[in-house]
Homo-oligomer: A and B are copies of this chain.
Amino acid sequence: MPKKNEQIADDLRHQISSGELAPGDQLPTEIQLATLYRVSLGTVREALHTLRSEGLLDTRLGRGSFVRHARRRIVRRGERHQREHDRVPLPLEERQKTGAVEFDTGLDFVDIEFHATYRPEQASEELAELFGISAGTKMLHRAYVSSQRAVNAPVSLIRSWLVWDMVAGNPALLTDANEPWAGGTQHQLSTVGIELGRIVEEFTARPPQPEEMEMLNIDQGVSVLFLRKTSIDTTDRVVEYSEVVMPGDRTIAVYTTKLERWSQ
């Protein structure tokens, strides 16, 4: 005996993949679907929940359920770091040409909306241990949201921490008024004499938190890619830590490992 909610989900999924239901189309209301499939409302809602988790539907309270437009996959390449590093010594106008986000997405600058908020913060236990400082040390907390303007689709949420005294030598680094900063964080750090030596990135996948669902415009059940990035300078000191939340249904993180050949 097949489960009714799965049968309904399968049927609607086929209608979507076959084009019978096109992107942007509104589905029948839940009550209509319940009548149509001769099941109760709860069963229909389970089926719709499944499809939302697969990123096929966009359901809005008071409006209805709609077939999602296929959303462009954003590619985030590991090469971005070396590229940003290489561009630090370049003159301002060169650095301005293309930032990291545009490099990742392949989109034009004008398509990307970018918002930054800076504020001082005291180091938590976890941050203190990571940076090798004592808890309560003054930090600079920076929060970024970047979106594709056209489709109201945030690309990532970023929270970043720096040790205040490490960057305070350049007051321009302490205010979000100078964002977006041409050349990114690596150039910012270079203005206080810091050069990065390596970057460690740790990926996990998890369900979104309620706040993230709202900010990334994703539904419950869509996973997020969660990235912890630690930047270490050429003297092996942790100088920056950030956490990046990316929508799992439209992000690809790419890392290329070039292998050194065997000695012939």
- Contact in complex: B203, A257 (CB < 8 Å): no
Whether A65 is near chain B, meaning CB under 8 Å from some CB there, is no
Among the listed B42, B255, B259, which residue makes an inter-chain contact with A82, where contact means beta carbons less than 8 Å apart? B259
Among the listed B221, B254, B260, which residue makes an inter-chain contact with A85, where contact means beta carbons less than 8 Å apart? B260
Copies in the complex: 2
- Contact in complex: B259, A201 (CB < 8 Å): no
Whether A30 is near chain B, meaning CB under 8 Å from some CB there, is no
Looking at the assembled complex, report how far the CB atom of A10 sits from the nearest CB atom of chain B, in whole angstroms. 12
- Contact in complex: A261, B54 (CB < 8 Å): no
A5 CB contacts on chain B under 8 angstroms: none
Mark A61-104 against chain B: 1 for CB-CB distance below 8 A, else 0: 00000000000000000100110010011000000000000000
Give the total of A residues in contact with B, Cβ under 8 Å. Answer: 42
Whether A148 is near chain B, meaning CB under 8 Å from some CB there, is no
Given contacts A196-B259, A223-B223, A259-B81, contact A253 B202 (CB under 8 A): yes
Whether A198 is near chain B, meaning CB under 8 Å from some CB there, is yes
- Bound together, the chains give a CA A206 to CA B248 distance in angstroms of 6
A54 CB contacts on chain B under 8 angstroms: 207
Whether A224 is near chain B, meaning CB under 8 Å from some CB there, is yes
Given contacts A200-B256, A257-B199, contact A206 B249 (CB under 8 A): yes
Chain A residues proximal to chain B, CB less than 8 Å: 42, 53-54, 78, 81-82, 85, 88-89, 195-207, 221-225, 234, 248-249, 251-262
